Structure 1
Amino acid sequence: MSSDLPKRHIKLIKALKESKNARSKNLCFFVEGLRSVEEVMKSDFTIEFAIVSDKFMNVNNERSRSLISQLQNFKLYLISGELYNTLSDTVTPQGIMAVVRMKPFDLTDYAEGNFLFVALDRIKDPGNMGTIIRTADAAGVNAIIAGKGCVDVYNPKVIRSTMGSIFHLPVVQTGDLITALKDLKNRGGRIITTYLKSEKYYFDVDMTVPTVLVMGKEDEGVSNEIIGISDEVVKIPMSGPAESLNVSIAHGIILFEAVKQRMKTRPFACK
C-alpha cells in the first residue's frame, strides 16, 4: 500500500466523475463504497487501482479488513480524508473507491437459446437507469441494451443505483438501437414494446419465447420507429387518475410477468 497517490490518478478520477467522454476515452470508470468495491472483486472486471482514506483504515471490522487484504493484490493507495473528499461523488463517503476497466460486450454472445433482453430508448434519469439494471439482474435477464440518448451506464449515480448489479450482467451501449433490435428479431427474438395507446395488456402476450422488452423515455415513451418494428405493443392497466408510471416501476412489473410465465414452463431455482 502506497501513500503517494500520483497526480495523474487524481486528475483521472475527477475526469471520470464528471465526464462521459473521459470515461469513453480512458475505457474505465470508478466505483465508490464498500459494497460496490466488493462486487467488483467478485466479478471478472479488472481493477486498475484502488484508494482508501485514513478514516476507512480506522474502521476495524472483519469485512473491511478482508477487503483491504484482497486489494493488496492491486495498486492500492492510502490518502487523507480531506483529499478523499475532493475525489468522492457522495455526500457522506465511506472512504473506499476503485477505478475499473470497462469490458467489451458483444450482443451476439448472449442472443442464444430462449434469451430475455431489455432494450432502453432514451432513458435519461440515472436513478431510473440504475434501478432498471438492478431489476433486470434480479429477473435473470441475459443482457441490457442502452440506445443512443440514454444516460451513460457508467455514470457514478447510475453505478450507485445498481447496487452492484452492473457487474452481474452485460449492459451494451449502442448508437443504433433500431439495427440492434432488427438483428435480435432475425435471431428469433420477439420485440415487445410498452405503449400507452396500446389495446393489449402486458400479461396477454407470450414471453416464454425469446423476448426483447423495450422501455422508452420517461416523458415521451418509445420512438415511433421502434413501435413500427415491434411484434407487440403493450400497456399496464391503471384504474387511478395517474397518467403513467415511473419507467423503472413499469419495467419491473412487465419484466417479472416474463419471469412468472417462464417459471410455469421451465421452472428454475429462485432465491
Structure 2
Amino acid sequence: MPGMQYINLDRETNDFQHLEVLKRNRNKRHRYGEIFVESVACINALLATGWELTSVAYHGERELSSWAKEVIATGNPQKVFRLIGPLMEKLSEREEPSELIVTAKMKRQGLEDIPLTDSTTLLIFDRPSNHGNLGSIMRSSDAFGVNGIITTGHSVDIYDPVVLRASLGAFFHLPVIHCPSIRELGQWLDRVRAEVPGFKVVGTSPSAHRMLHEIDLTGPVALVVGNEFSGVSRAITEMVDEMALIPMQGTVDSLNAACAGTVALYEMVRQRLTVHR
C-alpha cells in the first residue's frame, strides 16, 4: 500500500525503543502526541472512532489473522513493524502477547468537547490513582450512557495503555478529559449550571447523611467519585451540591472507587427508567 513502510526488527533499535517509551513513559507519550494500544476491543474501538494509526507491530514469524490484515489495510499506518518473538513478548508483557500492537496520534480534548444537553450526565473521578479503576469506570460510564468523564488533579494518565485496556475500548467512545486545574473545573461547572437548567453535582462519601437513592438523579447531573484512599478532596467537595451515601449492610464502610461509581451510575439509570415507565 502506498506510503506504508514495512520494517523488520530483530533487536532493540530506535524504533523499538520508541514503542517502549510510548508504553511506559507518560511525559514522552504527551510530548510525542502518540498512544500505545493493544487488545482487539481497544484496537477495534480506536479504528471505529476515527483515530489515526501511526504504526502497527506484530510477531513477524506468525501468519496474521484476517482481522489483523484488515486492521493494517484500513488503518493505513505509516510504519508496520515485524518483530521477532522475544521483542514482541517484551513489548506486550502479557501471558498471551497481543496479535497486534498499534500506536495512534493522540486526540487532545478539553472540557468544551463535552456535549451539554438537558439530560447531560458526567462522571468526575477525583485524582484516580489506580489504572484498573479508571479503566473500569470508563467501561461503566459507556454502559450507562455518560456524556463525558473528567479526571482531576494529580492522577494516572488517561492515555496509559493499562487504563485503555481496562476500559475494553470504552475510552474511545466518549470524551475523557483530564483537568488538572481545580479552579478551571469549578468555573466550567458554574457555566454548565448556568446553561443547563436543573444541573447539579452529586458526590459519594461514606460520611454523607443522605442515601444515594434519596437524591433525585433523574435530571442533568455530574456524579463525583473520590480518590481510592482519601475520597473526594475538600476542593471538589466545595463544588458539590449534595453528598450521597451508598447503603451497605456488611462490615466495610466504603467500596472500591470503580464499584462506587458503577453503583451511582446504576442508581441514576434506575431512577430515570422508573420515571419514564
SS at match of 1:11: helix
Q: 2: CA distance between counterparts of 1:190 and 1:170?
A: 19
Cα distance in 2, alignment partners of residues 201 and 179 from structure 1: 30
**For the residues of structure 2 that align with 1:174 and 1:65, how far apart are their CA atoms?**
38
Q: Please tell me whether residue 88 in structure 1 is matched to residue 92 in structure 2.
A: yes
Once residues 235 and 180 of structure 1 are traced to their aligned partners in structure 2, the CA distance between those partners, rounded to angstroms, is 24
Aligned to 1:161: 166
Q: CA-to-partner distance for each residue in 1:193-234, whole Å, 9 max, x for gaps?
A: 111111101111122222111111112100122212210000
Is 2:125 the counterpart of 1:120? Answer: yes
The 2-side partners of 1:16 and 1:86 are apart by: 14
Listed one character per residue, the Cα deviations across residues 16-58 of structure 1 (whole Å, up to 9, x for unaligned) are 1221111111111100123322221111211111111125x42
Partners in 2 of 1:110 and 1:206 — Cα distance?
22
Normalized against structure 2, the TM-score is what? Answer: 0.88
2:196 corresponds to which residue? none
The offset of 1:152, in angstroms, is 0.7
Within 1, Cα distance between the matches of 2:270 and 2:19? Answer: 42
Return the alpha-carbon distance in structure 2 between the equivalents of residues 216 and 11 of structure 1. 36
Q: Which residue of 1 aligns with 2:31?
A: 25
8 Å contact kept, 1:185–1:191? no
| 2:21 pairs with 1:15 | yes
**Is 1:133 aligned to residue 138 of structure 2?**
yes
Residue in 2 that maps onto 1:215: 225
Q: Find 2:181's aligned residue among 176, 179, 183.
A: 176
The unaligned stretches of length 5 or more in structure 1 are none
Moved more, 41-50 or 107-116: 107-116
Q: 2:240 matched to 1:230?
A: yes
The alpha-carbon distance between structure 1 residues 260 and 248, as it changes in their structure 2 partners (threshold 3 A), is: same
C-alpha change, 1:134 and 1:205, in structure 2 (3 Å) is same
Q: Which residues of structure 2 form unaligned runs of 5+?
A: 194-198
Structure 1 residue 124 displacement after superposition: 0.4
Q: Does 2:42 align with 1:36?
A: yes
Pairs aligned (count):
265
By how many angstroms is 1:78 displaced? 2.1
Using the size of structure 1 for normalisation, the TM-score is 0.89
Q: Choose which of 88, 108, 127 in structure 2 pairs with 1:104.
A: 108
* Secondary structure of 1:261 counterpart: helix
Return the match for 1:263 from 266, 269, 273: 273
Confirm or deny that 1:197 pairs with 2:207: yes
CA–CA distance in 1 between the matches of 2:76 and 2:59? 15
Contact 1:30 1:97 (8 Å CA) reproduced:
yes
